[in-house]
C-alpha cells in the first residue's frame, strides 16, 4: 500500500501539515472502493490533486480520467456536455454526441465547482449516483454508465441548500466521504517550503539564479493571509523571480508584491458576505419594489370598498388607509369621492371603459390586469441591465469578476448577457 510520503513525491505535493497529511491518508483509504468523494476547500488549495490520487490508486486506473469545471460551462449546454445529445435535439446539434459520463464509463469523473450545477442537471446527476442511468438530451432511451464520481467545491453547500440552490439528497450522495484541504494560512510551516519550490522551478524555467528570502521576508511571508492560497503564492514567486535583479529578497521588496491588508480577505466567507455597491443598490431596489407591492394592495382594497359601499361610508371606516395612500397633511386638498349607490352593481361594461383595467372579484378581493405588473417587471429588467453594464465596464469586460461583484454565477451572467443582447 502506498504511503503518504510516496504519494507526495509522486504528485509533487509539498508540505508536512497534519491536516494535509490526513487528507492524503483518507484519499489513499477510499481509493480502492467505488464510493463517491466530496473534496472541500478554498479556491487555490490544490483540490485537483485528490481525485488524481484516488483514480491512480483505484481499480479504474487504466480507465479514463476526465476533469470537468462545472462553473465554466454555460447553463444551456452543460447537460449536453455531461450526458450527450441526439442529432437534431436542439439548434446546432448536427450529429449525435457522447457526453462525459458515457466516454468515462469504467473510469473516473472529477466534477470541479459542483456547487455551480443548475438544479435540472443536479437531478440528472443524482440519478447516475443512484443507479448509473442517464438520458441523452433529446433521447428517451435510458443508458447505463459505470463511473466513479469525485466532486469538489469551494462554497458552503449547506448555505446553498438553505437557499434552494443545491439539492440536499444530492449532497449526501456526493459526500459519502468528505476530504477537507486546509487553506495555506493554516499551514504556516509549509509556506516557505512551497515558495522555495516555486522559486527553484522558475529559476530553471527562465534560466536564472533562484531567488532567496531573507529572514524578515520569511516572517512576512508566513504572517500574510494568502487569500488566493497556493495559486497566489506561486504567482508572487513568479513575479519576483522575473522582475527582481537582486536575488536576495528583503521584507520591503516582498511587501511591494503583496496586496494591501484591506483587500487581503479569505476567498470563502461563511458567516457574512462582504457588501459592495451593487449588493447595496440591489437591496434598496428590492425594498422599493416590496413597498410598491404593499401600496398597490392597499389601493386595490380601498377601490373595492368604494365600488361596494359608496365613498361616504368608506371614508369613515378606512380613514387610516386613505391617509396612507393620499397623505394626511391638512394643507392638502380635501379628498372626495363621488358617491355611488350602496346597492350599485358593476356590470362587465364597466371594465370596457378602460382597456387597461379589469376587476376580478374573488372573496372580496380583485386584481388589476397585467398592465401595472408588466411596468414593474420592465423597470426591474432595465435596472438589472444597467447593473450588468456597469459591472462589465468596471471590470473591463471580465465576466468572472463581474459575476462575483453582482453575486451571481458566471454562467448566469452569460445567460443574462444573451437574454438582454448586451
Q: Three-state SS for 359?
A: coil
Q: How confident is the model at residue 93 (pLDDT cuts 50, 70, 90)?
A: confident
Q: What pLDDT does 328 receive?
A: 52
Q: How confident is the model at residue 283 (pLDDT cuts 50, 70, 90)?
A: low
Q: Partners of 395 in the beta sheet?
A: none
Separation of alpha carbons 403 and 40, rounded Å: 22
Q: Partners of 151 in the beta sheet?
A: 38, 111
Higher pLDDT, 348 or 172: 172
Angle at CA of residue 325, ends 321 and 329, nearest 5°: 95
Decide if 268 is inside a domain.
Answer: no
Please tell me whether residues 361 and 380 are part of one structural domain.
no
Which of 182, 197, 232 marks a domain boundary?
Answer: 182
Could you tell me the pTM of the whole model?
A: 0.62
Please tell me whether residues 41 and 56 are part of one structural domain.
yes
Q: How confident is the model at residue 360 (pLDDT cuts 50, 70, 90)?
A: very low
pLDDT of 327 higher than 80: no
Please tell me whether residues 23 and 139 are part of one structural domain.
yes
Q: How confident is the model at residue 387 (pLDDT cuts 50, 70, 90)?
A: confident
Phi then psi for 42, rounded to 5 degrees?
-65, 165
Q: What pLDDT does 6 receive?
A: 95
Pick from 186, 182, 178, 229: nearest CA to 27: 178
Please tell me whether residues 13 and 134 are part of one structural domain.
yes
Decide if 357 is inside a domain.
Answer: yes
Angle at CA of residue 115, ends 114 and 117, nearest 5°: 70
Cβ atoms of 46 and 181 within 8 Å: the answer is: yes
Q: Read off the CATH number of the domain in which 193 is found.
A: 1.10.8.60
Q: Partners of 199 in the beta sheet?
A: none
Percent of the chain with pLDDT over 90: 59
Mean pLDDT calculated for residue range 86-95: 88
Mean pLDDT calculated for residue range 405-413: 82
Please tell me whether residues 60 and 159 are part of one structural domain.
yes
Please tell me whether residues 14 and 87 are part of one structural domain.
yes
Decide if 269 is inside a domain.
Answer: no
Please tell me whether residues 286 and 341 are part of one structural domain.
yes
Q: What pLDDT does 39 receive?
A: 97
Separation of alpha carbons 221 and 93, rounded Å: 52
Higher pLDDT, 372 or 90: 90
Pick from 110, 99, 7, 123: nearest CA to 57: 7
- Cβ neighbors of 193 (< 8 A, separation 6 or more) are 14, 15, 16
Percent of the chain with pLDDT over 70: 74
Q: What pLDDT does 317 receive?
A: 60
pLDDT of 232 higher than 50: yes
Cβ atoms of 147 and 106 within 8 Å: the answer is: yes
Number of domains the chain is built from: 4
Q: How confident is the model at residue 104 (pLDDT cuts 50, 70, 90)?
A: very high
Please tell me whether residues 360 and 383 are part of one structural domain.
no
Please tell me whether residues 22 and 88 are part of one structural domain.
yes
Mean pLDDT score of the chain: 82
Which grid coordinates are listed for 197? 519550490
Decide if 275 is inside a domain.
Answer: no
Mean pLDDT calculated for residue range 369-381: 57
381 is in which domain, residue-wise?
A: 376-419
Least confident of 71-75, 166-170, 208-212, 296-300: 296-300
Please tell me whether residues 197 and 94 are part of one structural domain.
no
Decide if 140 is inside a domain.
Answer: yes
Decide if 392 is inside a domain.
Answer: yes
Please tell me whether residues 194 and 238 are part of one structural domain.
yes
Decide if 273 is inside a domain.
Answer: no
Q: What pLDDT does 83 receive?
A: 96
Decide if 414 is inside a domain.
Answer: yes
Cβ atoms of 147 and 108 within 8 Å: the answer is: yes
Which of 263, 294, 319 marks a domain boundary?
Answer: 263
Phi then psi for 46, rounded to 5 degrees?
95, 35
Compute CA 109 distance to the chain's CA centroid, rounded to the nearest angstrom: 21
Mean pLDDT calculated for residue range 158-170: 95
Please tell me whether residues 18 and 108 are part of one structural domain.
yes
Least confident of 85-94, 109-118, 247-256, 331-340: 331-340
Which of 263, 294, 311 marks a domain boundary?
Answer: 263
Amino acid at each position: 500500500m502506498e504511503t503518504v510520503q510516496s504519494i507526495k513525491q509522486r504528485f509533487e505535493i509539498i508540505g508536512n501539515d497534519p491536516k494535509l497529511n490526513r487528507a492524503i491518508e483518507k484519499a489513499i483509504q477510499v481509493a480502492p472502493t467505488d464510493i463517491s468523494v466530496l473534496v472541500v476547500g478554498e479556491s487555490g488549495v490544490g483540490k485537483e490533486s485528490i481525485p488524481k490520487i484516488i483514480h491512480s490508486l483505484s481499480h479504474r486506473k487504466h480507465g479514463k480520467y476526465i476533469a470537468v469545471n462545472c462553473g465554466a460551462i454555460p447553463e444551456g449546454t452543460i447537460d449536453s456536455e455531461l450526458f450527450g445529445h441526439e442529432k437534431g435535439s436542439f439548434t446546432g446539434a448536427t450529429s449525435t454526441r457522447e457526453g462525459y459520463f458515457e466516454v468515462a464509463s469504467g473510469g473516473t469523473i472529477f466534477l470541479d465547482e459542483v456547487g455551480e450545477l443548475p438544479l435540472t442537471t443536479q437531478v440528472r446527476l443524482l440519478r447516475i449516483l443512484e443507479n448509473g442511468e442517464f438520458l441523452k438530451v433529446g433521447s428517451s432511451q435510458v443508458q447505463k454508465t459505470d463511473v466513479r464520481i469525485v466532486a469538489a467545491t469551494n462554497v458552503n453547500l449547506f448555505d446553498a441548500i438553505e437557499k434552494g440552490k443545491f439539492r440536499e439528497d444530492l449532497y449526501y450522495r456526493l459526500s459519502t466521504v468528505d476530504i477537507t484541504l486546509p487553506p495555506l494560512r493554516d499551514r504556516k510551516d509549509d509556506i516557505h517550503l512551497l515558495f522555495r519550490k516555486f522559486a527553484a522551478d522558475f529559476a530553471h524555467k527562465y534560466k536564472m539564479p533562484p531567488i532567496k528570502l531573507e529572514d524578515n521576508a520569511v516572517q512576512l511571508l508566513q504572517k500574510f493571509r494568502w487569500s488566493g492560497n497556493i495559486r497566489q503564492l506561486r504567482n508572487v514567486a513568479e513575479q519576483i523571480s522575473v522582475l527582481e535583479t537582486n536575488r536576495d529578497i528583503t521584507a520591503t521588496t516582498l511587501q511591494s508584491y503583496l496586496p494591501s491588508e484591506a483587500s487581503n480577505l479569505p476567498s470563502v466567507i461563511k458567516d457574512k458576505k462582504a457588501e459592495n455597491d451593487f449588493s447595496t443598490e440591489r437591496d434598496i431596489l428590492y425594498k422599493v419594489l416590496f413597498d410598491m407591492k404593499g401600496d398597490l394592495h392597499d389601493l386595490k382594497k380601498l377601490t373595492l370598498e368604494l365600488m361596494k359601499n359608496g365613498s361616504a361610508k368608506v371614508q369613515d371606516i378606512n380613514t387610516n388607509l386613505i391617509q396612507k395612500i393620499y397623505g394626511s397633511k391638512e394643507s392638502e386638498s380635501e379628498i372626495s369621492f363621488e358617491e355611488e349607490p350602496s346597492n350599485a352593481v358593476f356590470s362587465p361594461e364597466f371594465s370596457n371603459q378602460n382597456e387597461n383595467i379589469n376587476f376580478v372579484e374573488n372573496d372580496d378581493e380583485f386584481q388589476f390586469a397585467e398592465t401595472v405588473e408588466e411596468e414593474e417587471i420592465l423597470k426591474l429588467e432595465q435596472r438589472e441591465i444597467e447593473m450588468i453594464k456597469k459591472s462589465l465596464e468596471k471590470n473591463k469586460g471580465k465576466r468572472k469578476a463581474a459575476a462575483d461583484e453582482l453575486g451571481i454565477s458566471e454562467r448566469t451572467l452569460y445567460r443574462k448577457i444573451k437574454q438582454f443582447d448586451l
